[in-house]
Structure 1
Amino acid sequence: MLPGMTRLGLSDTIAAVATAPGSAGVGIVRVSGPRALALADAVFRGRRAPSGTPGGRFLYGQFVLPGGEVLDEGLCLVFRAPHSYTGEDVAELQSHGSPAVLARLLTAVLEGGARAARPGEFTLRAYLGGRMDLTQAEAVLNLVNAQTDTARRQATLGLSGAVSRRVEAVQLAVTRTLSAVQAMLDYPEEGVPDEERHGPLREAERELEALIASGQAGRMATQGARLALIGRPNAGKSSLLNALLGYERSIVTPVAGTTRDYLEAGLELAGLPITLVDTAGLRDTDDVIEAAGVVQARRLAEGADLVLYLEDGSREREAAEALPSNVLTVQTKTDLGAVWHDARALPVSAVTGEGLPELRDAVRDALLHDASRQEVWLGTQRQQDAARRALEHLRASHDLPDDLAGYELEEALNALSELTGRDAQEDVIDGVFRNFCVGK
């Protein structure tokens, strides 16, 4: 048992419903800890007792209550330490997914001596038992919450240890540099080739810069992005929103100023969860309500991850609005014939669908930047913050005396250890697991 496990209550046997709330064909009560299989013996009746079954086997039988009443029939999966998710003995009791059945089965296990699991405690035990590091634990939560295939893929890569391996490569390069610096301090007369000292450090900095650059993509893959559609009245904002959604969500009329308040709609766009925001047309107006909508449209554009500025391609071009930097210009209504041309504008027709695939690709490239070509992304703000601190310490070590450079390199290694969870403080660990569901 690891130091601190008794204090945290991790020597107890814990139990929780591990499947989502609501009715389903199958539901699972997960039990983990030193008495997991003995507690399974008390509520499960089959041809063999769970405690006498080798790991990796399942048993068919009945779930019974303390008075002998049969609750349900189902399966008991047996896992033996250390070959389980938590690294402990684990029993997974699979019954029908009735909320009443699962609640009563969990109560029977708790009455037998188990403790109700805290949020994320099963994964916390896996981390403390050395089954995974913090980046993998965070990938578990991201996988549970994944809304798109991109998010799923990145979470699966994180769970496989891909992020950890990249961080370990950086740690190795920094350690080599620190060893060279310490050699200079211990044996100044010997000298250390400049490339041996600075080469690994440059490599580590490049890798950290790439990982940090992937952070925005990781955030968008897990949390989604906001995409604001702005432009003058009748520029085709509502039509484009409907075309991207594939159904009529926003009212479309030839009357200028139809959209006065903003409208939101969610979809998956280029592999990312996107919230589209249709806004009021930008123009000067004496209508108080419409003017308020224009002010709101500009505010929404400032807060969006990306802005699509729509201009009617079938009419003479008007003077452009003052726009934020994160903007793509879209030339709409190309099916009516374009009367102006701009190589920087994306031609699109909401009627025929022309240009929509290219628009989706442009949105993805604008949101993800170079990260779209990377295999692994940093998936949480905590990981990004730790990587930034490590990079700052590496950069600070340049042109310093050897003793001060050594201090900065050690601080960089501490930040990298925090990223993966090695030597992480308790408050950092608590912050990772507090958002987990109880059954995970």
Structure 2
Amino acid sequence: MSLSLKDPICAIATPPGKGAIGVVRLSGEGALEVASRVWRGKDPRRLPGGRFTLGEVVDPETGEALDQALLLVFRAPRSYTGEDACEFQTHGSPAVLRRVLEALVKAGARLARPGEFTLRAYLNGKLDLAQAEAVLALVEAEGDLARRQALRSLEGSFSRKIAALEDRLLSLLAHIQALLDYPEEGVEAHRAEAVLREVLGEIEGLLAQARSSRLAQKGARLALIGAPNAGKSSLLNALLGYERALVSPIPGTTRDYLEAPLELFGIPLLAVDTAGIRETSDPLERAGVERALRIAEEADLVLYVADRAAPRPPLPPLPARALKVATKADLPPLWEDPGFLPVSSLTGEGLAALKEAIREALLGREGGEYLLSERQIEALHRARERLLEAQDLPEDLMGLALEEALQALASLRGRRQVSEEVVARVFQNFCVGK
């Protein structure tokens, strides 16, 4: 992917399929000239930025009217890409959008590559690399947590935090250089230890959000396990807020697993109700038990469910990420255990506390402030490793390690020299039109 592209590009910016409105984007040097060749109405070249006009999109070769549309003009540098740009808001028929796109190509534009509009925004200084990644994360957000975290990065909060860390390390480098160049001036030594400790703490705090970033982007699998008739299906229904699983007083009726999507605290979850775990001679039920144990091993979080209004079953081995839930809290208990969260699926008692415990088990006490990509996590790890090396060096030898840590941090924002390979990696998963 060339990093010096200026020619006019076009793409459909709305999802495939039929809709009331479709949007075709055009941007680049000469974009308004191209637009004027396909537009019947007020000349786009004479319109001020930020102005809508009503007209028709036409075939530039035959003059055939393709659709009645709105045209929105943007003037450089006040556009998404920083270039002259416009949007054609047409009817959302696939046939209309296809013909409009063909007309723009005939008029001198070329088809945009995936992510090329946002790439140009980056190259023209409208976004840094971290903000560009946030654009993709925001487009792909499936839960509200991912949406909030991506928007925070798009607004520049993550970039400002990284810039502040870079400034501290640059100041430390300048201090070390002064110490080496002017030893007779009495420059204060032993400043590095405190700065490195503080910057490392900030980086480790960001890396602690890696798990929450993955969960916010990809969701989590929540497995409900326990003995037959422990109340798993009822608890699943209570978490969902509607009847998804059949509830029966007959033990062993759930012989396979049942999945249902839900969202808690903005996290997309896939809840899995499993067969009751017990010794059985029934081969079908035994297969269900084995599958339930496998699902528990693979889940991001396990809810072990036990009926406190019945004799207490033996506690099976549980994975590290497990919460213990005592159901039927509305009935007199036959046993109590402070390690279990009491919940009534019938009355809702304890349900809010259980949801909060699920959130904390998945995200930690603070949750995640930023949505970190795998590339960003790798760069933060590189910076951390270099700073740990610097801690073990005397101040007059730590300059190279600090430089490498700074380069890793700078790659997050892309404000210093970043290889074309890194930039291509950032934009490779974007959709055409963004």
Q: 2:140 aligns with which of 141, 145, 153?
A: 145
Kindly indicate whether residue 427 of structure 2 is the aligned counterpart of residue 433 of structure 1.
Answer: yes
Letter in 1 for 2:421: D
C-alpha deviations, 1:265-306, integer Å up to 9, x for none?
111112211111112222222333332322222222222221
**Matches for 1:382-401 after TM superposition, within 5 Å:** 382-401=375-394
Secondary structure of residue in 1 paired with 2:214? helix
Letter in 2 for 1:382: R
Kindly indicate whether residue 3 of structure 2 is the aligned counterpart of residue 5 of structure 1.
Answer: yes
Partner of 1:200: 195
Residues of 2 paired with 1:428 and 1:87: CA distance?
Answer: 22
Partner of 1:408: 401
Q: 1:15 aligns with which of 2, 10, 17?
A: 10
Structure 1 residues 294 and 424: CA distance shift in structure 2, 3 A: farther
C-alpha deviations, 1:135-160, integer Å up to 9, x for none?
11111112112223322221111110
Partner of 1:91: 86
Kindly indicate whether residue 46 of structure 2 is the aligned counterpart of residue 58 of structure 1.
Answer: no
Partner of 1:365: 360
Partner of 1:253: 248
Letter in 2 for 1:116: L
Residues of 1 paired with 2:245 and 2:211: CA distance?
Answer: 29
Partner of 1:220: 215
Q: Does the 8 A contact of 2:308 with 2:326 survive in 1?
A: yes
Q: Does the 8 A contact of 2:196 with 2:391 survive in 1?
A: no
Query: What is the percentage of aligned positions where both structures have the same residue?
Result: 55
Post-superposition offset of 1:431: 1.9
Q: Does the 8 A contact of 1:313 with 1:331 survive in 2?
A: yes
C-alpha deviations, 1:11-69, integer Å up to 9, x for none?
221100011112222111000111211111011111x2001112121211111123122
Q: Does the 8 A contact of 1:378 with 1:384 survive in 2?
A: no
Letter in 2 for 1:60: L
**Matches for 1:149-168 after TM superposition, within 5 Å:** 149-168=144-163
Secondary structure of residue in 2 paired with 1:95? strand
Secondary structure of residue in 2 paired with 1:336? coil
Give unmatched runs, 5+ long, in structure 2.
none
Q: Does the 8 A contact of 1:309 with 1:329 survive in 2?
A: yes
Partner of 1:68: 63
Give unmatched runs, 5+ long, in structure 1.
none
Residues of 2 paired with 1:102 and 1:186: CA distance?
Answer: 65
Q: Does the 8 A contact of 1:213 with 1:371 survive in 2?
A: no
Residues of 2 paired with 1:427 and 1:235: CA distance?
Answer: 54
Letter in 1 for 2:52: F
Q: 2:303 aligns with which of 284, 308, 320?
A: 308
**Matches for 1:176-191 after TM superposition, within 5 Å:** 176-190=171-185
Residues of 2 paired with 1:97 and 1:277: CA distance?
Answer: 38
Kindly indicate whether residue 294 of structure 2 is the aligned counterpart of residue 299 of structure 1.
Answer: yes
The answer to which of 351-360 and 283-292 deviates more is 283-292
What is the Cα-based RMSD across aligned positions, in Å? 1.9
TM-score normalised by L of structure 2:
0.94
Q: 1:321 aligns with which of 310, 316, 319?
A: 316
Letter in 2 for 1:178: L
TM-score normalised by L of structure 1:
0.93
Q: 1:236 aligns with which of 208, 231, 234?
A: 231
